Amino acid sequence: MGKKEIETKIIELKDEYLQLQHNLEKLEYVNGNIAPLEKRLVELEDELSTLNQQLRKLS
């Protein structure tokens, strides 16, 4: 994966992360099941960490 592809993927994942956080807040407010969203947020954090490491290696 090239530098530009990594940067684009990071932007996409950050956008998804923000959307999930917003949805999580809504579900918490109505006492909904937040476990799947929390799991996905953790997955996104891991993926973002990996991509940022790859980006640093390329710089």
Identify the band that residue 44 occupies on the pLDDT scale cut at 50, 70 and 90: very high
Determine the pLDDT at residue 14.
Answer: 98
Determine the pLDDT at residue 1.
Answer: 84
The answer, yes or no, to whether residue 26 has pLDDT greater than 90, is: yes
In this structure, which amino acid lies at residue 24?
Answer: L
Please state, in angstroms and as integers, the Cα–Cα distance from residue 21 to each residue in 14, 38, 45, following that order: 11, 9, 12
**Residues near 59 by beta carbon (within 8 Å), at least 6 away in sequence:** 3
Determine the pLDDT at residue 20.
Answer: 96
Identify the band that residue 39 occupies on the pLDDT scale cut at 50, 70 and 90: very high
> CB count, 10 Å around CB of 22?
10
